[in-house]
Structure 1
Amino acid sequence: MMENVSGLSLEFLVHPGETIKEVLENKNMSQEELAIRTEYSPKHISEVVRGKKDISAVFANKLEYALGIPANFWMNLQNNYDKEVFEINALNNIGEEELNILNDLKDVVKFCEDKNIIECNSNREITVLNMRKFLNLNNLCSIQNLPIQQVAFRGSKAKPVNIYVLYAWQKLCEYYTDKININNNCNIEKLKTKFSDIKETMFLSANDMVAKLKKIFAECGIAFTVVKHFAGAPVQGFIQKRNNKVILCMTIRQSFSDIFWFTLFHEISHLITDDFVDQYIDYRFTESEEENTADNFAKNMLINQRDYENFIKTNDFSYNAVKKFAKSQKVLPGIVIGRIQKDNNNYSLLNSYREKYKWSHT
């Protein structure tokens, strides 16, 4: 018996021919009589009953007339059998390399199981099959040959990038944004009119804020969501044009309000300048002219540069002063604190006053 690692074997599967045999016995009909009624040879009937031949669409229709059982019943039997054969053969072909990749994806797998994206199963080989289906692959090893690899290694010397985790995170972005109904084409000019509305959401709770942002971006023809961050995928955001749909996803990193909002407007800058083709993965460590432009846009959208310079000249960095200035800019105090910390390379300054969002995760 040819068993695979999970203990399953093709010998345990019931071929549709077995059902034909049972029906013939119940009807007290011989295979020879069935051959006459279907106009197939006795040899053909025998081979189907013994599982040597499959039930074709033509033969299924013949069986409907001969046995009074609908053709779709026989076709469903055959389709289910074929699927089970494929699954068992797939299990037999899972090697150590794919199981090692599953180790890399353990946090993603747990997240997918917790969110019922894939079925929870203690059998690692079946989990490989579940992840293959979710990631739209016949072999997890294929990830290293996909275009995502070229993007991932662009900055891998600065931060550890795991191409398997990065690809899985991208698929999660697609999974969640596919659930968002977008009725309009992407309208960047309309997006530009929504900046104030976008900023106002920062004063809401994390969940209400994300819900409101989804609505605002949807009005502009953009599917937006926030997806859990995983070690191995050091990304700020993900923008993609796919099937006439623009998606914008962000990771949840550290939960600080200033990081979230700087990142959001940084990604909005990429949308406005259209400095990507079909897919753009924004790394925390990437440096380029486009990234510098996006950084400056984010800083100026959150805090007016001239007002900020005047505030810095006061040399009063007490919390009350920061809070007053933040109010004048219509931002949270943590936004100002984060800016001062970065500009002065002093990350202890008023750090306890930086707001942190409490995420429920998508």
Structure 2
Amino acid sequence: MAEEKELILWGATSPGEILEEKLQEMNVDVNDFAARIGYTPKTVNELLKAKCRVTVEMAYSLEFGTGIPQYFWLEAQKQYERDLWREKIKKSLKKSVVWRKFFPIAELNPRTWIKDFNNKEDGVTPILKFFGVASPKAWENYYYKNRLKVAFRISLAETEDPYAASVWMRRGEILADEIKMEKQNDKKVRSAIKKAMPQFVELAKNDVAAWEDLRHKKALPKPKVGEDFIDDGMHKLQELGAKLGIKVLYAQNFKSAPIHGMARWYKDIPVIQLHDRFKDRNAFWFTFFHELGHIVLHGKKDIFIKNVYYGNKNQQKDDEANAFAQKYMVQAGLEDSRIP
């Protein structure tokens, strides 16, 4: 039993290396062993040199020939293949270090969005896990080329900084997944939003008044660098949205991708994602109403990103969302503070 435990620790080696040591211990040559287990010497030699895999059939034959259980040989084969792939991936990721540098490293460092972001082994794996992609090429295909465009009719290729924009978008997806909510029917959601517009208007009016009061008292909150910021007014907006079947999210954007708002249907749930560092509260509410307008007026197959140019941006739909926002800003008695 102790001997088997010692062999199991050799998971980084091939089954053939383990077998070679066992044959030496048994004082049996390859030809004799091959005859005992019903294989040709050529096959056994290929196994010893890791040129063939241990199959289920072979594992049972090895158990009869060596006394070591079949499950050990099968697990040794699996472990060996895992190690080979791990090394292959490591070599591949070392070549991808340059890819990491395209992301807004300085602004990401204070944030906790990407787990183990600055690990010493490699700086690429944490980014891949954050995006849920297998390689930089997969990221490129999804966010920069065709996949995202196929799913949502946009591509980030024409944005000023697709790397920063993709991080902000992905952060929203992660935040959305943390909020448990049933899938929504688009017609019912739109109807519910229209009925609830007086509530949104009242909330906006009270929130801006409270914000102005804090401004006069010179008591405006100062969000910490690197932390997502949600004050009382933003939290109330989030709660009202949730009652109607909308996820309202807040995430700090990046200097090179100054996105202030985004509207989309994500996993059959309408999502509005807003920047959390608005200096002008009127601008915050105009942006929210603008994105809400997209949810009410436009289809489920579009992503609408405010304040950033991207390929296939529909100016007519953007103008319609502006008109929607302006209408409710007027009702709330607020200035039409549009982000240029």
Q: The TM-score by the shorter chain falls in which range? A: 0.5 to 0.7
Counterpart selection for 2:156 from 152, 156, 167: 152
**Alignment of 1:304 onto 2:303:** no
How far off its partner does 1:258 sit? 2.6
Root-mean-square deviation (Å): 4.2
1:281 counterpart residue number: 305
CA distance in 1, matches of 2:173, 2:260: 16
How far off its partner does 1:17 sit? 3.4
CA distance in 2, matches of 1:282, 1:58: 61
User: TM-score with structure 2 length normalisation?
Assistant: 0.66
2:289 counterpart residue number: 265
1:165-184 paired onto structure 2 within 5 Å: 165-184=164-183
CA distance in 2, matches of 1:207, 1:137: 36
2:136 counterpart residue number: 139
**Alignment of 1:129 onto 2:143:** no
Secondary structure of 2:54 counterpart: coil
User: Quick check: 1:60–1:74 contact (8 Å CA) kept in 2?
Assistant: yes
Counterpart selection for 2:322 from 284, 295, 300: 295
Secondary structure of 1:240 counterpart: strand
CA distance in 2, matches of 1:90, 1:122: 16
How far off its partner does 1:189 sit? 1.8
How far off its partner does 1:234 sit? 2.8
Q: Which is further off, 23-32 or 85-94?
A: 23-32
CA distance in 2, matches of 1:196, 1:28: 88
How far off its partner does 1:28 sit? 7.7
Q: Which is further off, 268-277 or 47-56?
A: 47-56
1:249 counterpart residue number: 273
CA distance in 2, matches of 1:290, 1:62: 69
User: Quick check: 2:251–2:275 contact (8 Å CA) kept in 1?
Assistant: yes
CA distance in 2, matches of 1:119, 1:23: 43
1:141-220 paired onto structure 2 within 5 Å: 142=141, 143-146=143-146, 151-152=155-156, 156=159, 161-186=160-185, 187-198=189-200, 200=203, 202=207, 206-207=230-231, 212-220=236-244
Q: Which is further off, 25-34 or 187-196?
A: 25-34
CA distance in 1, matches of 2:233, 2:76: 49
Secondary structure of 1:247 counterpart: strand
CA offsets per residue over residues 79-117 of structure 1, 9 Å max, x none?
443343334334434587x44432221438845973453
User: Quick check: 1:144–1:163 contact (8 Å CA) kept in 2?
Assistant: yes
2:223 counterpart residue number: none
User: Structure 1's 95 and 23: CA in aligned 2 closer, same or farther, altered over 3 A?
Assistant: closer
How far off its partner does 1:180 sit? 2.4
User: Structure 1's 277 and 128: CA in aligned 2 closer, same or farther, altered over 3 A?
Assistant: same
CA distance in 2, matches of 1:268, 1:44: 67
Give 5+ residue unaligned stretches, structure 2: 1-10, 212-228
User: Quick check: 2:47–2:53 contact (8 Å CA) kept in 1?
Assistant: yes
User: Quick check: 2:290–2:321 contact (8 Å CA) kept in 1?
Assistant: yes
CA offsets per residue over residues 158-191 of structure 1, 9 Å max, x none?
xxx1122222322222222223222242422223
User: Structure 1's 110 and 13: CA in aligned 2 closer, same or farther, altered over 3 A?
Assistant: farther
Task: Kindly provide the amino acid, as one letter, of the partner of residue 255 in structure 2.
Answer: A
User: Structure 1's 117 and 223: CA in aligned 2 closer, same or farther, altered over 3 A?
Assistant: farther
Secondary structure of 2:69 counterpart: coil
Q: Structure 1 vs Structure 2: percent identity of aligned residues?
A: 18
User: Structure 1's 79 and 92: CA in aligned 2 closer, same or farther, altered over 3 A?
Assistant: same
User: Structure 1's 100 and 69: CA in aligned 2 closer, same or farther, altered over 3 A?
Assistant: same
User: Structure 1's 90 and 33: CA in aligned 2 closer, same or farther, altered over 3 A?
Assistant: same
How far off its partner does 1:232 sit? 2.6
1:319-330 paired onto structure 2 within 5 Å: none
User: Quick check: 1:113–1:119 contact (8 Å CA) kept in 2?
Assistant: no
CA distance in 1, matches of 2:36, 2:279: 71
Task: Kindly provide the amino acid, as one letter, of the partner of residue 82 in structure 1.
Answer: E
Q: Which is further off, 161-170 or 25-34?
A: 25-34
How far off its partner does 1:49 sit? 3.4
Q: Which has the higher contact order (CA 8 A, sep 6+)?
A: 2
Give 5+ residue unaligned stretches, structure 1: 1-11, 309-335, 346-362
How far off its partner does 1:271 sit? 0.3
User: Structure 1's 70 and 194: CA in aligned 2 closer, same or farther, altered over 3 A?
Assistant: farther
Task: Kindly provide the amino acid, as one letter, of the partner of residue 304 in structure 1.
Answer: Q
CA distance in 2, matches of 1:170, 1:185: 21
CA distance in 2, matches of 1:58, 1:281: 57
CA distance in 2, matches of 1:219, 1:40: 68
Secondary structure of 2:274 counterpart: strand
Task: Kindly provide the amino acid, as one letter, of the partner of residue 267 in structure 1.
Answer: E
